[in-house]
């Protein structure tokens, strides 16, 4: 234990100096706990000795060297296919950024997909240099293969990354790589795994890309949608999202955007892509996998697209509910009623007029304008004019058998009412 006196002349100006010298004890943390197992000490480094460096990018403007990046999104939308496209471009020196023209290696730790059936065929479809892609596994002393565990296996990962000149490590999925003793929903536990991981990324210059799913919260904030602890998005320097394109009626186009980019521009364009089928020949026949195909950039941010998608989803739900109600309603009316009465009845049970119009189009109902001043009717040919359901009470009429003279007058009157009127006098359906 070191003991040194502090003379009154060295006491800070803002404090009253002691009447006598004070002894300051320099005690290390290992001296406090007495264990000696993990010797720790506090280090102070003057900022003047730290040289500033520019940010270097493995993917220009999106993923920086020596950082943790997340690719988040719902399951099954192509996050892994996108990661293997990046892998292929790095191994060919084709990814715009620091290593363009300089092929580099990539380490891949994937636990959900089969290397033989899925990952290697995807890499071939993306035209990767397979000699530069390395599967990361951990073997026990008994030669059992187990999953990579963070932070336990980080020293070995760092050593191999340097040996193989790796520019990127892919963790698919990231959450599965945290040690069993760590809770992925506790910030402190997540940081215990991720902060040493980020330190290794910084020392090696290797970018680490972790794939992670979206939660079921229904939020339209891309960062709030990332599963588990908020420490994942806090520690990552960039977060990227893959979602369905809400404006694509075919439901095949995906959007890729960057809602968080601490080291670069925040207004990066939102990219679109599709997954095309690809047959990879093998010794046992073709293996069918997906291949990423980029499309045009999309206006607006990924957050804008999410909010638009949520609105469209709500609108589709309202239309579906209106269609179900409209089908039942027309059954009670013999398959036909005036649009005014339909809208009035629908409003009573909470259906907006625009939802009813969309429901009418979805059901393929026909529109007819009759009489003067041009009342509009919606009807369903499949139901016909007769229905097994009686009309509602307020539309019930008493049927009488007309005399011969009344029948003739009724026919003439009906013919007059069926006369078509000009459409500019008609009610809008």
pLDDT in tens, the chain (429 residues): 444 554 555 544 544 555 444 444 444 444 444 445 567 899 999 999 999 999 999 999 999 999 999 999 999 999 999 999 999 999 999 999 999 999 999 999 998 899 999 999 999 999 999 999 999 999 988 889 988 999 999 999 999 999 999 999 999 999 999 999 999 999 999 999 999 999 999 999 999 999 999 998 888 999 999 999 999 999 999 999 999 999 887 889 999 999 999 999 888 999 999 999 999 999 999 999 999 999 999 999 999 999 888 876 666 677 788 888 998 898 888 888 999 999 999 888 888 888 888 888 888 898 888 766 678 889 887 775 443 444 433 333 333 344 444 444 444 444 444 444 334 433 444
- For residue 151, whether the previous peptide bond is cis, meaning omega lies within 30 degrees of 0, is yes
What integer pLDDT is reported at residue 349 of this predicted model?
A: 82
SS3 309: helix
Task: Return the pLDDT at 348.
Answer: 84
Residue 197 CB coordination number (10 Å): 23
pLDDT computed for residue 207 by the predictor: 98
Q: Kindly report the three-state secondary structure assignment for every residue of 99-124.
A: CCCCCCEEEEEECCCCHHHHHHHHHH
pLDDT of residue 166: 98
- CATH 3.40.50.300 residue window(s) in the chain: 57-300
Whole-angstrom CA distances from 412 to 166, 262, 351, 403 are 90, 79, 39, 14
Determine the pLDDT at residue 8. Answer: 52
pLDDT of residue 134: 98
Q: What is the pLDDT of residue 350?
A: 84
**C-beta separation of 243 from 102 below 8 A:** no
Closest C-alpha to 233, from 203, 210, 256:
210
- Residue 35's pLDDT is 47
What pLDDT was estimated at residue 310?
A: 81
- Quote the pLDDT of residue 402: 44
Predicted local distance difference test score (pLDDT) of residue 375? 85
Q: What is the per-residue pLDDT for 9?
A: 54
Q: Give the closest residue to 3 by CA, choosing from 29, 27, 19.
A: 27
Residue 428 half-sphere exposure, CB side, CA atoms within 13 Å?
A: 3
CATH class of 57-300: alpha beta
Output the six-digit token pair for 268: 């990066």
């Amino acid at each position: 234990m070191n003991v040194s006196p502090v003379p009154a002349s060295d006491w800070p100006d803002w404090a009253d100096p002691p009447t006598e010298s004070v002894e300051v004890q320099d005690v290390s943390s290992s001296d406090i706990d007495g264990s000696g197992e993990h010797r720790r000490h506090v280090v102070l480094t003057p900022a003047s000795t730290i040289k500033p460096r520019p940010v270097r990018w493995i993917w220009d403007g999106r993923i920086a060297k020596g950082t943790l990046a997340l690719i988040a999104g719902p399951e099954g939308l192509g996050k892994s296919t996108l990661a293997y496209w990046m892998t292929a471009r790095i191994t060919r020196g084709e990814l715009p950024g620091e290593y363009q023209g300089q092929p580099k290696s990539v380490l891949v730790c994937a636990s959900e997909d089969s290397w033989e059936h899925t990952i290697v065929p995807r890499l071939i479809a993306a035209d990767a240099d397979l000699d530069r892609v390395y599967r990361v596994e951990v073997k026990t002393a008994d030669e059992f293969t187990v999953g990579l565990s963070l932070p336990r296996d980080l020293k070995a990962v760092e050593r191999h990354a340097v040996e193989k000149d790796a520019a990127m490590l892919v963790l698919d999925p990231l959450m599965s790589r945290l040690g069993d003793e760590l809770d992925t929903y506790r910030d402190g536990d997540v940081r215990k795994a991720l902060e040493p991981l980020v330190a290794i990324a910084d020392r090696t210059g290797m970018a680490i890309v972790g794939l992670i799913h979206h939660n079921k919260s229904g939020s339209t904030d891309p960062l709030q949608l990332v599963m588990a602890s908020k420490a994942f998005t806090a520690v990552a320097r960039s977060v990227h999202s893959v979602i369905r394109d809400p404006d694509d009626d075919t439901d095949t186009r995906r959007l890729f955007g960057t809602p968080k980019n601490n080291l670069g521009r925040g207004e990066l364009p939102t990219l679109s892509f599709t997954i095309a089928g690809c047959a990879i020949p093998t010794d046992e026949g073709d293996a069918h996998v997906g291949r990423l195909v980029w499309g045009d950039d999309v206006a607006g941010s990924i957050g804008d697209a999410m909010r638009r998608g949520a609105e469209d989803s709500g609108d589709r739900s309202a239309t579906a509910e209106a269609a179900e109600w409209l089908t039942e309603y027309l059954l009670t009316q013999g398959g036909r009623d005036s649009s005014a009465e339909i809208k009035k009845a629908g409003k009573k049970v909470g259906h907006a007029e625009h939802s009813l119009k969309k429901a009418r189009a979805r059901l393929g109902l026909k529109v007819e304008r009759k009489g003067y001043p041009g009342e509009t009717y919606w009807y369903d040919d499949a139901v016909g004019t007769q229905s097994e359901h009686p009309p509602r009470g307020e539309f019930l009429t008493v049927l009488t058998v007309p005399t011969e003279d009344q029948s003739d007058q009724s026919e003439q009157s009906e013919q007059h009412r069926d006369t078509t009127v000009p459409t500019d006098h008609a009610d809008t359906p």
